[in-house]
């Protein structure tokens, strides 16, 4: 408890009952949470009765990591997880209570859109609504715990949603799947269940929730249930950082917490330990314009500080160049390393030009978010194979991959299968099998043969799974047997090589997962750094593994076994599908962009949303333009004012990420979807007090009204303003934006942005480092013709340099060298298809 200020101490050592911690940015919120948990474990509660809930896995990981510093391995005994991961685990424990089976799948946005798209088409209403609209409405209703089919908009219910939603939900049910909202909703149902509800509501004696301002109604309802018995509910948040209104978050949950819990102790944390006074003044000035806030003001002992730089560029490339070259210079001159910098922006679309200029200026940078790895087409395809393997009822997975890679099975065939499946209430996969046996009418010999090929592929893969292959091995086999590898290799384009290497990356991910699972318990899902077996304290009976007969004894997990009971959820063996596939799929579905490691050697480029909770010595906020930041799009569910207030909070979050230096930039013109927009400075720039700014006020007298149909750019005559701007014919990287307040903008040497032939930094993680698999024998020889047929007993010898070898995923290549020995021995191979890779030797076969 050392080093806490009085308020922090009061929060950390609060005894029992509800506690509300209103914590401003940079006030040591996480620190207090961690100390509070440590305090609880040391004096008030057994660790496994503590539940800490976060929004992102990264936040959970961070918390566990810090807790380990205080508590050691006891930190592993408690339950620290995201809302969704926690709930998913509860559902896996008692799936049948809410109409699921243990192997339920999680539908992501893509799956939802595809399904709704199909339903919209079938209902022939595609001229009236887009699937996106329907999905948004469904999500919005579910966020609020309302039945989407019955939600009233104005005085009437949305007929299209009312038509589609029941079909949508029915299909989910049929596929044994849930969407993100269902995960939470069904968990609430579980907590209200007469059989198991009481257990869930008494599982935890202390419940702590981080970023409470971001909870929506359903999440709040859920948390209240978790804390139902004990009332030991600690919520921590900052109403000024409520930036998820668009996904149903309700800051009133935080603001009115002491109305629901009148006996709640309230602690305010206002001393900021992160930023300089200058940065705080700017942030406070912006947020002070908001009406609807609980009101607290941050202060710091770090008086003064570097003034805030501002820069206005001619266009987005000038802006990007200014930022990239500025960082380059600081790296060259200063005591800075790349990880000291973050560039924040409002929308992902801004990332690209920034990334390009970073590259051109040889600044190692990484974009977080945008198209997440798991959203790549080829990755999703392989995942769909896994999903279909794990659950043959998954029509959505079937749809996705029957014909990927193309094997001549077209829409007409699939539609017949669908009809057949509908007729006898089975899945399309089952119908495909029936068709191969000739039991589906209307299918000729041709389609039948092609379906047989597909069914064979799936059966072959099933035997790989049944033989006990690890997830990484299964994925390698999927890539091979599906023909994906062959197809991508045949294409042999830059893109196809890229895709192959993404698949290799997927194998690496799976392999990490296998490792974790091999040496951890089910808790590996939650703990970030789960390197060792969870140590139960001697006196406690935490069932870490299933009893010999495979069933964890109910008596053991009953009562106070909170975290342990959850961990036990995945320990029950299943005849056909190992829980590992489910677990892997779940992890992927619940992975978030924020979880992508902000590398230690990179400048981080990300949206403001993702940056919440992070801090950097030097921060650039780009694109401070009216209409972009604040975004002024019309949205149906929020008033203009409410929206603007949220944007303001977003700016507040952005500014307060900076520890020492903050630079605000905007561009007078910006390309949006190909055409050039003329931009006005953000109104938030006006709010920054002049005394904080290097060079005084920005030339920002012109205020853009909210865009309208008559003035789509927000003002009447865009050209009028351009006349004042520097001539702008050649869209070359802008030198400076024209206005003079550009301290530090020394005239740069013109740099032509082009893709460098060799990247300045290499993403040098070995893309095909499969690392240690389980120590069992490789399983590739499950059938004679297995393309990955693996020769046993040839370990440790390695391959002579120059030997031609083949690999299930990468094809043929030439050996460059060996390293390591035994099962871990690796070989460096120059593959024809994907270039040089390090692979485990036992996955190679010598070519004669």
CB 268 within 8 A of CB 644: no
Q: Is 497 exposed, middle or buried (0-12, 13-18, 19+ CB in 10 A)?
A: middle
Q: Measuring CA to CA, which residue among 3, 2, 1, 23 is closest to residue 13?
A: 1
Report the distance separating Cα 570 and Cα 584, nearest Å. 12
Binding status of residue 635 toward DNA by CB under 7 A: yes
213, 310, 348, 502: residue in contact with DNA (rule CB under 7 A)? 348
408, 442, 559, 822: residue in contact with DNA (rule CB under 7 A)? 408
Residue list 72-111, contact with DNA (CB under 7 A):
82-85, 108-109
CB 658 within 8 A of CB 691: no
Report the distance separating Cα 277 and Cα 692, nearest Å. 9
Binding status of residue 406 toward DNA by CB under 7 A: yes
Report the distance separating Cα 526 and Cα 529, nearest Å. 9
Binding status of residue 590 toward DNA by CB under 7 A: yes
Binding status of residue 459 toward DNA by CB under 7 A: no
Report the distance separating Cα 477 and Cα 459, nearest Å. 12
Q: Which is nearer to DNA, 671 or 814 (CB)?
A: 671
Residue list 167-186, contact with DNA (CB under 7 A):
180
Binding status of residue 587 toward DNA by CB under 7 A: no
Binding status of residue 160 toward DNA by CB under 7 A: no
Q: How far is the CB of 508 from DNA (least distance, A)?
A: 21
Report the distance separating Cα 354 and Cα 359, nearest Å. 9
28, 149, 251, 447: residue in contact with DNA (rule CB under 7 A)? 447
Q: How far is the CB of 184 from DNA (least distance, A)?
A: 8
Binding status of residue 496 toward DNA by CB under 7 A: no
Q: Which is nearer to DNA, 411 or 785 (CB)?
A: 411
Q: How far is CA 650 from CA 168, 247, 681, 747, in A?
A: 34, 15, 16, 32
Binding status of residue 403 toward DNA by CB under 7 A: yes
CB 544 within 8 A of CB 533: yes
Binding status of residue 346 toward DNA by CB under 7 A: yes
Half-sphere exposure of 291 (CA within 13 A, CB side): 4
169, 339, 347, 463: residue in contact with DNA (rule CB under 7 A)? 347
Q: How far is the CB of 245 from DNA (least distance, A)?
A: 8
Binding status of residue 56 toward DNA by CB under 7 A: yes
247, 437, 776, 791: residue in contact with DNA (rule CB under 7 A)? 247
Binding status of residue 413 toward DNA by CB under 7 A: yes
Binding status of residue 772 toward DNA by CB under 7 A: no
How do beta strands 341-345 and 79-82 pair? unpaired
Q: Measuring CA to CA, which residue among 40, 175, 55 is closest to residue 106?
A: 175
Half-sphere exposure of 459 (CA within 13 A, CB side): 11
- Helix, strand, coil percent content, the chain, rounded in steps of 5: 45, 15, 40
Report the distance separating Cα 617 and Cα 339, nearest Å. 9
Q: Which is nearer to DNA, 83 or 666 (CB)?
A: 83
Q: How far is the CB of 414 from DNA (least distance, A)?
A: 8
Strand partners, 830: 814, 836
Written as one string, the DSSP assignment of 208-229 is EESSGGG-BHHHHHHHHHHTTT
Binding status of residue 633 toward DNA by CB under 7 A: yes
Report the distance separating Cα 814 and Cα 416, nearest Å. 47
Q: How far is the CB of 336 from DNA (least distance, A)?
A: 26
Binding status of residue 673 toward DNA by CB under 7 A: yes
Binding status of residue 246 toward DNA by CB under 7 A: yes
Number of chain residues interacting with DNA (CB under 7 A): 52
Q: Collapse the DSSP code of 819 into the 3-class scheme (helix H, G, I; strand E, B; otherwise coil) and give the result.
A: strand
Q: How far is the CB of 633 from DNA (least distance, A)?
A: 5
Q: Which stretch binds DNA (CB under 7 A): 462-470, 614-622, 626-634, 692-700?
A: 626-634
Residue list 355-394, contact with DNA (CB under 7 A):
369, 377
Q: Which stretch binds DNA (CB under 7 A): 145-153, 241-249, 285-293, 839-847?
A: 241-249
φ, ψ for residue 575, nearest 5 deg: -55, -55
Residues that bind DNA in the complex, under the rule CB under 7 A: 55-56, 82-85, 108-109, 117, 130, 132-133, 136-137, 180, 243-244, 246-247, 346-349, 369, 377, 403, 406-413, 447, 590, 592-595, 607, 609-610, 631, 633-636, 643, 671, 673-674
């Amino acid at each position: 408890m050392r080093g806490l200020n009085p308020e922090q101490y009061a929060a950390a050592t609060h005894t029992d009952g509800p506690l509300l911690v209103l914590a401003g940015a940079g006030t040591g919120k996480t620190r207090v949470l961690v100390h509070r948990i440590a305090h609880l474990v040391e004096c008030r509660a057994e660790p496994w009765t503590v539940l800490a809930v976060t929004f992102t896995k990264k936040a959970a990981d961070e918390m566990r990591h810090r807790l380990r510093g205080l508590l050691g391995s006891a930190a592993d005994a408690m339950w620290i997880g995201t809302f969704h991961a926690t709930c998913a685990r509860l559902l896996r424990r008692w799936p049948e209570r809410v109409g699921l089976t243990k192997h339920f799948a999680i539908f992501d946005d893509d799956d939802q859109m595809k399904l709704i798209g199909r339903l919209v088409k079938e209902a022939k209403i595609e001229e009236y609504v887009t699937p996106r609209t329907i999905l948004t409405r469904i999500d919005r209703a579910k966020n609020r715990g309302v039945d989407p089919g019955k939600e009233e908009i104005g005085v009437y219910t949305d007929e299209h949603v009312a038509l589609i939603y029941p079909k949508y939900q029915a299909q989910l049910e049929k596929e044994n799947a849930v969407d993100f909202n269902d995960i939470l909703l069904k968990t609430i149902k579980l907590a209200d269940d007469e059989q198991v509800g009481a257990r869930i509501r008494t599982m935890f004696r202390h419940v702590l929730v981080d970023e409470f301002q971001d909870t929506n109604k359903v999440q709040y309802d859920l948390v209240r249930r978790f804390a139902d018995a004990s009332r030991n509910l600690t919520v921590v948040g900052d109403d000024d950082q409520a930036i998820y209104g668009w996904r149903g978050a309700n800051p009133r949950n935080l603001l009115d917490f002491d109305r629901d819990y009148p006996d709640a102790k309230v602690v305010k944390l206002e001393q900021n330990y992160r930023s300089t006074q200058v940065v705080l003044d700017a942030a406070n000035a912006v947020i002070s314009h908001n009406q609807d806030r609980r009101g607290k003001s941050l202060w710091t002992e770090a008086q003064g500080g570097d003034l805030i730089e501002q820069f206005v560029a001619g266009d987005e490339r000038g802006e990007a160049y200014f930022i990239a070259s500025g960082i380059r210079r600081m790296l060259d001159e200063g005591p800075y390393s790349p990880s000291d910098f973050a560039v924040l922006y409002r929308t992902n679309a801004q990332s690209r030009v920034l990334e390009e200029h970073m590259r051109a200026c040889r600044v190692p940078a990484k974009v977080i978010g945008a198209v997440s790895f798991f959203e790549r087409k080829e990755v999703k395809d392989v995942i769909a194979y896994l999903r279909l393997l794990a659950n043959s009822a998954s029509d959505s997975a079937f749809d996705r991959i029957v014909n990927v890679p193309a094997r001549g099975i077209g829409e007409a065939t699939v539609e017949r299968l669908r009809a057949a499946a509908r007729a006898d209430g089975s899945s399309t996969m089952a119908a495909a099998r029936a068709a191969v046996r000739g039991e589906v009418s209307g299918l000729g010999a041709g389609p039948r043969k092609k379906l047989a090929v597909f069914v064979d592929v799936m059966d072959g893969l099933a035997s790989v799974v049944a033989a006990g292959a690890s997830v990484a091995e299964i994925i390698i086999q999927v890539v091979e047997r599906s023909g994906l590898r062959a197809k991508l290799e045949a294409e042999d384009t830059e893109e196809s090589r890229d895709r192959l290497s993404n698949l290799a990356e997927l194998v690496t991910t799976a392999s990490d997962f296998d490792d974790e699972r091999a040496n951890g318990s089910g808790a590996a899902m939650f703990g970030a750094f789960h390197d060792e077996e969870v140590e139960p304290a001697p006196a406690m009976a935490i069932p870490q593994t299933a009893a010999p007969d495979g069933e964890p004894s109910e008596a053991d997990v009953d009562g106070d076994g909170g975290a342990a009971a959850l961990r036990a959820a995945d320990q029950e063996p299943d005849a056909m599908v190992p829980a590992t596939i489910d677990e892997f799929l779940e992890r992927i579905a619940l992975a978030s962009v924020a979880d992508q490691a902000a590398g230690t050697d990179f400048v981080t480029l990300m949206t403001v949303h993702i940056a919440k909770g992070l801090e950097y010595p030097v921060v650039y906020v780009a694109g401070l333009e009216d209409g972009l930041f604040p975004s002024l799009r019309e949205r149906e569910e929020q008033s203009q004012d409410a929206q603007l207030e949220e944007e303001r909070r977003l700016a507040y979050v952005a500014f307060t990420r900076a520890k020492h230096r903050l630079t605000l930039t905007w561009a007078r013109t910006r390309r949006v979807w190909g055409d050039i927009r003329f931009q006005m400075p953000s109104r938030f720039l006006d709010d920054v007090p002049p005394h904080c700014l290097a060079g005084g006020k920005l030339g920002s007298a012109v205020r853009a009204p909210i865009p309208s149909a008559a003035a789509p750019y927000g003002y009447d005559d865009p050209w009028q303003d351009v006349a004042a701007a520097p001539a702008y014919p050649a869209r070359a990287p802008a030198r400076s934006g024209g206005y003079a307040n550009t301290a530090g903008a020394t005239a740069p040497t013109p740099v032509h942005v082009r893709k460098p032939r060799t990247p300045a930094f290499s993403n040098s993680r070995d893309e095909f480092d499969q690392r240690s698999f389980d120590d069992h024998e490789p399983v590739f020889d499950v059938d004679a013709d297995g393309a990955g047929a693996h020769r046993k007993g040839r370990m440790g010898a390695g391959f002579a340099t120059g030997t031609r070898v083949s690999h299930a995923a990468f094809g043929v290549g030439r050996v460059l060298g060996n390293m390591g020995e035994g099962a871990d021995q690796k070989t460096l191979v120059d593959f024809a298809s994907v270039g040089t890779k390090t692979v485990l030797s036992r996955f190679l076969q010598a070519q004669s």
